[in-house]
Amino acid sequence: MGLVNPIDILTCEIRIGAPDPASPIKIQNPILLTEVKEITITESYKDLIGSAKVSFPKGSVYQSVIIENVTLDGIDATSVFVNRLEDGVLIEKRTTQVPVSEVAFIVGQRISIKLGYNGNIKSMFEGYIKGVSSDDDVILECENLAYKLKQKQAPKITTPKKTYINDLCGEKYGLLKGTNFELHKSTKEWNIQIGEVRITDNFTVADILESWSKMGLYCYLKYESDDYSQMPKIAIGRPYSSKKSEMFSDGSEVQVTVISDRPEVYNIQKQKNRNSAKYYIDFLYNVAENRLTTTKVDPKFLAVKAQGLGSDEKFFSVTVRRNPDYDPTDKNSKEFQTVNATQISKKRHKVTGNKTASGAETKTKVDMDSYTVVPYHSTKKNITSDALVEEAINYFKNYNLNGVKGSLLLFGDFGIRTGVQVEIDDPRNSSKNGVYLVEKVTTTFGVNGYFQDIEVPYKIQSVETYGKN
C-alpha cells in the first residue's frame, strides 16, 4: 500500500468591527468569520488604494465575543469568567454565533483578512468596508487602510522649487499630519526631491499622492517588517532607475533600482549562493500556471523613450536608440543617437518641436514601428534634455534583452505582496531565470483554492543586458 500525500486545508480568518480612532490598525469588538465563498485581493505599487472583494453565502456563521462587567450578586454560577477584580467585579466573556446577512456589516467598518494553509495564516489585507451588497451572496467591497486618505483634506501650501519628500510629508509642511500615517524608513533615507508643490484647491491627501504616479513616482503602503500588527507606512519610489546612485533598494547587490523588502531565505538549500531575492520560486513546485512569454530583443532595434519635467514645468520626451552607423574603432563615432525629441504642453499635451537635446535639431519624426520601445520616466525636476538623454542611455545599457511579459499563477505558499523581489528558477527554460520585481498581485481564495497571480514586468537581475553581453 503506497503512501498517501497529506492534504493541505485552506484556512482563513476574517475579522470585522469598529475602527479604533487612536490606532486604525486595531479593530474594536470584532466578529470572526472562518467561512467564505471567495476572496479577491488586488494590490500594486502603482496604486495607493488597494482593494478586496469578499463573498459570503447567506447563512454563514460568524462568532462574536461579548465582554461584560457583572457583580457577584447577579451572576449565575455557571457563567464563564476570565478575571476577578479586587472590588469583586467579574469580567464575563461569552461567545455567540450569528448567521451572516447584509445587515451584519456597515460601510466604514474595519476588516482584516488572514489566509493560509493548515492554520498557518498570514495577514493579506487590512482595510475598510466601502460597500455592502446582497443577492444570492453577501458581498463586501473593501479598500485598504489608505481609504482614509481619501477623506482627509490636504493642507493648502506652496513650497519652493527645491522641496523634498521628507519636508512635505513631515512636520515642515504637514501633508500627512493627522492621518496616522508616516513615511517608510527607506523613503526617508532616499529623501527624494520633488520640486515645487502648490496645493490650492480642495484636494485630499490621496489626490496629492496619486498625482505623482504620472511622473513614475509611485506611492503605496508597505510594512517595515513582517509584523502586520503594526501600521503600514507610505513608501514612495519607482521600479527602475538609470544610475546606481539613484537606486531605491534594500541594500542587496542589485544594479537596477528596486522597491523591495529585506532579503530572506525561504528554501535554504536552493537559495544558498543565489541572488538575495525575498522569495525563491521553483517552477516545478510553486507555479500552478505559467502565463509568461519570453522574447529575445535585438539591441539594434531597441529604443528607450524617456520623459522628464523641465524648468518651464512642461513635460518633454526624447527617444534614444543605438546608432546604426556606430563604428567602435572610430573615436568620433557616437554609439547612441537621439530621435523624436518632443515637448508636451502640461495643459493640452500638445506635441511641438524640442531642439534642446543634442542630436535632435530636426523635427522630422522617425518611424519606430520596427523597434521595441521601452518607456522611462525621470523623477528629477527641472531636468535638461541632455541630462534626460544621459539617463535614457544608462537605462538602455542596463535593459534586459531577454524580455518577459505576462504573469505567474502561484499556489498560496508565500503570501506575496507587491513591490518585493522574487527569484524565478525554471530548469526547462533558463531565459526566464533571474530576479524580478513584483508589480501587481491578485490573490484569490475560496472553494477553488488559494492562488496568487503575480505580474513581473521588470527583471532586475539577469544574465544578459546590452552593457553586459
pLDDT in tens, 274-312: 455 679 999 999 999 999 887 777 788 888 998 887 777
Question: What span, in angstroms and rounded, lies between the C-alpha atoms of 111 and 284?
Answer: 35
- DSSP character for 262? P
Q: What are the residue ranges spanned by the domains of the chain?
A: 10-60+100-145, 152-238, 255-297+399-469, 299-398
The model's confidence at residue 249, banded by pLDDT at 50, 70 and 90, is very low
Mean of the pLDDT values across residues 373-390? 82
Which residues are 139's β-sheet partners?
55, 133
Cα dist from 364 to 168, 337, 351, 352, 376, whole Å: 41, 14, 13, 11, 22
Instruction: Show the CA angle centred on residue 282, arms to residues 277 and 288, nearest 5°.
Output: 120
Each residue's pLDDT tens digit, 73-94: 444 333 343 444 444 444 444 4
In this structure, what are the phi and psi dihedrals at residue 209, rounded to the nearest 5 degrees?
-65, -40
Residue 266 has pLDDT above 60, yes or no: no
Mean of the pLDDT values across residues 148-171? 91
Burial letters 196-206, b for 16+ CB under 10 A, else e: ebebeeeeebb
Question: What span, in angstroms and rounded, lies between the C-alpha atoms of 114 and 52?
Answer: 12
The model's confidence at residue 468, banded by pLDDT at 50, 70 and 90, is low
Residue 140 has pLDDT above 80, yes or no: yes
- The residue assigned the cell 500500500 is 1
Instruction: Classify residue 210 by burial, with Cβ atoms within 10 Å: 0-12, 13-18, 19+.
Output: buried
Question: What span, in angstroms and rounded, lies between the C-alpha atoms of 81 and 261?
Answer: 43
Question: What span, in angstroms and rounded, lies between the C-alpha atoms of 381 and 209?
Answer: 16
pLDDT of residue 398: 73
The model's confidence at residue 43, banded by pLDDT at 50, 70 and 90, is very high
Query: In the chain, what percentage of residues exceed pLDDT 90?
Result: 35
Q: How many residues does the chain have?
A: 469
Mean pLDDT of all residues in the chain?
77
Question: What span, in angstroms and rounded, lies between the C-alpha atoms of 391 and 239?
Answer: 15
Which CATH number describes the domain made up of 255-297+399-469?
Answer: 2.40.30
CATH fold for the domain made of 10-60+100-145: Thrombin, subunit H (2.40.10)
| pTM tops 0.85 | no
Q: Is 63 left (phi over 0), alpha (psi -120 to 50) or beta?
A: beta
Identity (one letter) of the amino acid at 276?
S
Instruction: Classify residue 422 by burial, with Cβ atoms within 10 Å: 0-12, 13-18, 19+.
Output: buried
pLDDT of residue 13: 95
Residue 60 has pLDDT above 80, yes or no: no
pLDDT of residue 384: 84
Helix (H) or strand (E) holding 268: helix 268-271
Residue 65 has pLDDT above 90, yes or no: no
Mean of the pLDDT values across residues 160-187? 91
- DSSP character for 213? G
